């Protein structure tokens, strides 16, 4: 019996560690997101250059995709962790380096996994969706 409990505990630890990278530790509402786009196409011209961004459908309040390097993109749920009724936006003052909640004015750092700057209304980061860029196609899931 003791051995069985140890095996179950070990299996739970493995599953918890595997899920750690996409943890929604602050219970921010998120939706199902799974799409592919061609960010170098004219249709997605907002993503053609480094620093470019676009708001796309998906998730709970939408998804913001930012091109941080020629071959690297990040995608965040737009739902603010401090106020789930509000969608974050690219900062008007700081550009695509920061996302800002227009209601609570918390600033989230794009290149730092969506973590908020100190002094904001929350210590919770934005939920980050996984991205994969290969062969000119960006997958967000």
Q: Where are the domains of the chain?
A: 28-140
CB-CB contact of 54 with 47 (8 Å): yes
What pTM was estimated for this model as a whole? 0.81
* pLDDT confidence bin for 120, thresholds 50/70/90: confident
The answer regarding whether domain 28-140 maps to CATH 2.102.10.10 reads: yes
pLDDT (0 to 100) of residue 27: 83
Q: Tokens 């210590």 label which residue?
A: 123
Q: What are phi and psi of 5, to 5 degrees?
A: -65, -40
Spatial distance between the Cα atoms of 48 and 53, rounded to a whole number of angstroms: 9
pLDDT (0 to 100) of residue 17: 35
Tell me which range, 1-10, 20-29, 76-85, is most confidently predicted by mean pLDDT. 76-85
CB-CB contact of 115 with 125 (8 Å): yes
For the segment 39-45, the average pLDDT, to the nearest whole number, is: 98
Higher-confidence residue of 141 and 32: namely: 141
Spatial distance between the Cα atoms of 59 and 5, rounded to a whole number of angstroms: 37
73-92 pLDDT, tens digit each: 999 999 999 999 999 999 99
């Amino acid at each position: 019996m003791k051995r069985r409990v140890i095996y179950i505990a070990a299996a739970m630890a493995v599953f918890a560690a595997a899920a750690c990278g996409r943890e929604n530790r602050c219970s921010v509402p998120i939706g199902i997101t799974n799409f592919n786009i061609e960010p170098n196409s004219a249709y997605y011209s907002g993503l053609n250059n480094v620093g470019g961004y676009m708001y796309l459908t998906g998730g709970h309040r939408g998804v913001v995709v930012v091109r941080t390097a020629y071959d690297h993109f990040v995608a965040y749920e737009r739902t603010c962790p401090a106020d789930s009724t509000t969608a974050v936006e690219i900062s008007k003052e700081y550009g695509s380096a920061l996302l800002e909640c227009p209601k609570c004015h918390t600033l989230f750092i794009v290149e730092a996994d969506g973590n908020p700057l100190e002094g904001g209304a929350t210590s919770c980061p934005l939920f980050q969706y996984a991205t994969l860029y290969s062969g000119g196609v960006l997958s967000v899931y």
